[in-house]
Amino acid sequence: MVLQNIFDSHAHYADSGFDADREELLEKILPENGIKYSMLAGITIPDCVESQRLAEKYEYLYCSAGIHPEHVKDLPADWLDRIRELTEYEKCRAIGEIGLDYYWHPEEKMLQKKVFTRQLELARELDLPVILHIRDAMGDAVEILQYYQPRGVMHCYNGSAETAKELLKIPDLYFSFSGVITYKNARKPVEALKILPPDRIMIETDCPWLTPEPFRHKRCDSTMIIHTAQRMAEIRNISAQEVIDITCENAKKLFHIL
């Protein structure tokens, strides 16, 4: 099955995992497999610069600019000004990916919160959506998001249905699902997807990571999004193409793509 009109709302094609075949994938394989749009999520300043280079080369690619919570240590003094400069590029449509991640570095909680909130403030100033990375930090994240009320997307949403209901009170917040929802132990995202309204869901790969079944533990790329779409379709009792069409329109709306 080849689905059409796919918007992979979160990918990392600037990552070194694609060095061997990046050009072939982006020029031929992805377009031939129904990938119409892809958002390249930035994690460091050099990564954002490379993502912009790719977006300049390939019409269907868009990009964001931001500092991932795992990279908040030892930032240059002018880091926020450099993010601001990166957003001046016409195809830079979001601040991200930003957020909180206490899994690897719980000792950096205060620094992560500082960098996160400064980027939320920048997004508000520039009227840009945010791409949110939240891992093992949902309590703090919900409190911050309730205060700032950002327009944006919860990337790879793995929280509970109860938390999703609370976050739905933020009017312009979307929830994106990745290959994780195909895993046997993926109880929370499955329950969350069941209760979310159709106009608040998106789909992603987070490639080269979070590869869906049946390719888990291999490198992911956007062609594998079909398996995530099929699982989402089962959960919502609609077709995979309907999932793709709904999520494409939602992502276009969030990122202001006509």
pTM of the model: 0.98
| Residue bearing tokens 């450099």 | 82
Kindly indicate the confidence band of residue 77, based on its pLDDT and cuts at 50, 70 and 90. Answer: very high
Please state, in angstroms and as integers, the Cα–Cα distance from residue 61 to each residue in 12, 38, 120, 174, following that order: 11, 5, 23, 20
Q: What per-residue confidence (pLDDT) applies to 163? A: 98
Q: Domain segments of the chain: what residues? A: 6-254
The b/e string for 43-78 (b: 16+ C-beta within 10 A; e otherwise) is bbbebbbbbbebbeebebbbbbbbbbbbbbeeeeee
Q: What's the length of the chain?
A: 258
Domain 6-254 has CATH 3.20.20.140: yes
Section 6-20 average pLDDT: 98
